[in-house]
Every structure is written in structure tokens, then in C-alpha cells.
Chain A
Amino acid sequence: MALGIIIRREFFQLAHSVHGLGPLILALAGSGALLVWFLQRAEGTMETLPALWGLSAAIGLPFLAAVAASRGFTQDREGGMLRLMFATPVRSRGWVWGKVWAAWGLCMVYLGGLSVACWVLLRWLLPETAQVPWTWLGFLFAGGALAVQALFWSALGTLVSLFSRSSASTFLLSLLACALVPPAMCRAGMLLTPGAAVQWPWFPFQAMVYDCAGGVLDVRLLVGCLTMTAVFVYAAGLVFDALRLCATER
């Protein structure tokens, strides 16, 4: 019961604050513009709408997740709420999952907003003669891949927020981790395994969404994302307990 209450409170706090609403509108505007640009570029090709929608959403997603999750524990620390949380009869996992799901919820609002934008484009703004191939299944797969990724980024951002004392530094660290670490790791993988048959994409997570929209489901990557989410949440719970044991908060 406590988890549901915490999620609701955290989500509404995020959605009502400038720190949540501002980046959401910014990400929606940016991704909407990107979608239009992708559609123009795809004229005359066989690109499907779910793939373009998923790709435009996937580019803005790490930014939004980083912003949403970075406020997590940092604002509680800034306001002195962390000490009160330690004395509250809620397990550390409860607090951590509350923050993670709240940030994930904001990401879902973003995906919902972009879906509406896509529908408006398709319904009213495209010329009558335009043929854009799309299937519901493509949207479903792309949306699923994005939802899993959002959970992963949110968990990572929440974990980072436990270490930092200011929102700005947490945001920068989360953004670096969310946007730059995957391509950096892929590049490192390619450098370390020269001549390997597999070519790592520059942006593996974005490529994953693109593939999913086309029906190419890489289950390993999805399971990896979910596993890492569980690891991050577990680690964040341990860090939260460690902060209670070390009592560094006033």
C-alpha cells in the first residue's frame, strides 16, 4: 500500500513541478520536430511510421529520464527530508521504487504525448495521397522497448541521485550516464574485438527500438535492460540503507 502512495505522490510532485513539466514539454517539442523531419526524409522509402515514431521518441527519452530521475533523492536531501524518511516505517526498496516508477510515469506521459502528435500528423496534416505504412503491432513493440528503456534510465538516474548533493550535478551525471555510456561502451567493444562479425551500432538503445518496430525483437537486450534495472534498484536500496547507517544527513 505504501508503495502506491509514494509513487502517486512522487509522480504528481514531478508532474506539477517546473523540473518535470519543463523538460517534458521540451522533449515533446524536440521529438515532435524530429518526427516531422524523419517523415520528410522518409518520403519515397519503405520506412514504417512506428519505426520513425520510436526512433524520434528514443532520442529524447534518455534526456527526459535523466531529468526526471535526477531530482529523486537529491531534493529530499536538500530539504532535509531524507532523515525523516529513515525514521519512517517504509523499506528502502519502497522509497527507491517509488522514485523510479514516478520518473517512468513521466516518460510514459512523454510517449503518450508523442503518440498523440503522431496521430494528429497522420489524421490531419499529411496529404490525402500520402501512404505511410504502419501496423499496431509495430507501435506496440516499439512502445514496449521504449517503456523498458525508460525503466532502465529511471533506475540509473535514481541511483545517481543518491550520491549527489545538488540537482544540477545529479542531472549532468545522469545525462552523461544515460546518453553517452551506451555508445561509449559499444565503441569500446568494437575496439577491443577488432574483426568481430557483429558491428555495434553507435546508439544501441535507439537501434533496438528501430528494430523492435520492424518486428526484430532482441530479447537479450530487453532482458538485459530489466536485469540491470533490478540491479540498480537493489544497489540504490543498499546505498539508502548505507546512508542511514552512516548518518551523514541532517
Chain B
Amino acid sequence: MLEFLEASFQYAPGRGIVGANLKVAPGEVLGVVGGNGAGKSTLLGLAAAAMVPQSGEVRLSLTDLAGRTRRFRTDAGLAYRRRVGYLTELAPVYEDLTVVRYLRFRAKVRGERFLRIRRRVNEALERCGLVALRRERIGRLSLGLRRRVALAEALLTVPPVLVLDDPFAGIDAGQRAAFSGMIREVSARSHVLISGHDPQLLSACCTGFCVVRQGKVLPGRLTAQEAMAVLNPPPTKQAQEA
């Protein structure tokens, strides 16, 4: 279970996330939706341990087959970060490397066991449809393909926590469907958080939605239609009359 317990992070008063309470169960794909500057990326940054909450905490509880539960916190040590796959908004990649070299480098840096690296890289390449481009230099790839490489990197170690910040930005409809399928496939054992602006776009892969508005996470799980209705409320009578 991935839990946000009163987690707050503010860049300035009114900017960031305040007192977020959220639970994501294993196998759940939670869509985080909201307007621009609502605090989605901050929430995802906290989940990915790229940021440390100023108050409250974000923790992960994992139960193994023997029934033992281990807890990890984002603000202490590297254990949590070993269990996270993160696709940032900008989807950065090293452009001077080939696809396969980049993935190999990231797998090593993320602490993957030496004997598993080749298998993990091949799996990620196959999953993201990058096998034909494995020897291609990333700098020569299109924006959509670079995002695919960044996604392959996030999925590389089959992490228990997968954080995808606006993964469908700059992606065409065909690739979007492929991405959704991929995310559904890996979400069987992972806690997945995906951010976006449009719940309809995310509905293909999300099992539920939460809405972030002005730095606050609204309580309750919503469907895509409900989230849409919260984000774009129907005009009131007064507004219609006006």
C-alpha cells in the first residue's frame, strides 16, 4: 500500500500540495487529474521521492509471500527509491547514448542485479516496442520515441511504485493505446500513479481518479465521468441566464 499521510510540500504559500491524504493499493492505477498549477506534479514528485515532504510522510508497505510487511519512507535512505520507476514531465534521457546503452546504464544505477540487467533491458525494449531502435542514438529519435525510451526506463526494474507524470503528452492516438496497454500490463503488482489533464484520455488505463485542486487532494475515488464533472462543472442557472 502506498500512503500519503498529511503530506505537504509548498514552494510558496498557495503553490504546492497541502495535507495530502491518499492511499493506492497494489494493482491500482490511480489517475491524478487537475488543472494547470493544481499540484499534480508535486504530488507525483513526492510519490517518486524526488521531493521530500515538508510535513507528513509518504510511505510504502510491501507484504511478501510469507506475509511479512516491510515499510519504506521517502525521506529516509535509498530503500524507497530502489522501488520507484519515475517518468518526469520532461522525460529526460541522455541523447548521446544509444537506446540500449541508456537503459543498461539506468538499470545499473538503479541497483539492478548484474545478471538480470540484460533480461530486464530486453523486456523493457520489447514492452515498449523499441527492439528495432535499440542501436539508435536517442538524440536522433523523435519526441514521441524519446518519451517511449523514458517510459521503458521507468518500467525497467518492474518497480512496485510506478509514477508517470503526464505520459501521454506529445503522443499520438495509436501510441497512446499501446502505452495504456503497457501500463495495464505492468500494473498487476504495482502501485501506479498517472497524472494528466483529461480523465477521458487516461480512462483506458486507470482504475480510478482523484482530483487535485489548488494544492488539495479532493477525497474519494472517482470514475472518469465524475472526475470530468468535477473538473468542468456544468454552468449554473445564473451563469446561463447571464
Contacts and interface: CB of A to CB of B under 8 A. Distances in A.
A6 B42 CA distance: 27
A15 to B, nearest CB: 11
Give the interface SS of chain A, mostly helix, strand, loop or mixed.
Answer: helix
Give the interface SS of chain B, mostly helix, strand, loop or mixed.
Answer: loop
A250 B86 contact: no
Contacts of A247: 9, 11, 42, 45, 50-51
Interface string B59-91: 000000000000000000011011010101111
Nearest to B81: A89
Interface stretch (A29-37, A77-85, A110-118): A77-85
Nearest to B90: A80
B92 interface: yes
Interface string A84-116: 101111110000000000000000000000000
Interface residues of B, number: 29
Counting chain A CB atoms within 10 Å of each CB, the highest count among B9, B84, B108, B109 belongs to B109
B96 A88 contact: no
Contact of A89 (B51, B94, B110): B110
B111 interface: yes
A87 B111 contact: no
A11 to B, nearest CB: 13
Interface string B35-62: 0000001100100111110000000000
Contacts of B110: 88-89
Contact of A5 (B41, B82, B105): B105
A87 B90 contact: no
Contacts of B88: 80, 83-84, 250
Contact of B86 (A87, A91, A245): A87
Nearest to A245: B52
A90 B11 CA distance: 25
A87 B94 contact: no
A9 B105 contact: yes
A5 B109 contact: yes
Interface string A1-45: 110011001000100110000000000000000000000000000
Nearest to A4: B108
A244 interface: yes
25 contacts: A2-B109, A5-B108, A9-B105, A79-B90, A79-B95, A80-B89, A81-B94, A83-B88, A83-B92, A84-B86, A84-B92, A86-B50, A87-B49, A87-B50, A87-B84, A88-B110, A89-B111, A91-B78, A244-B50, A244-B51, A244-B52, A247-B9, A247-B11, A247-B42, A247-B51
Closest 4 CB pairs of A and B: A80-B90, A89-B81, A89-B78, A87-B50
Given A90-B109, A247-B9, 4 more contacts: A5-B109, A13-B94, A80-B88, A86-B49
Interface of A: 1-2, 5-6, 9, 13, 16-17, 79-81, 83-84, 86-91, 244-245, 247-248, 250
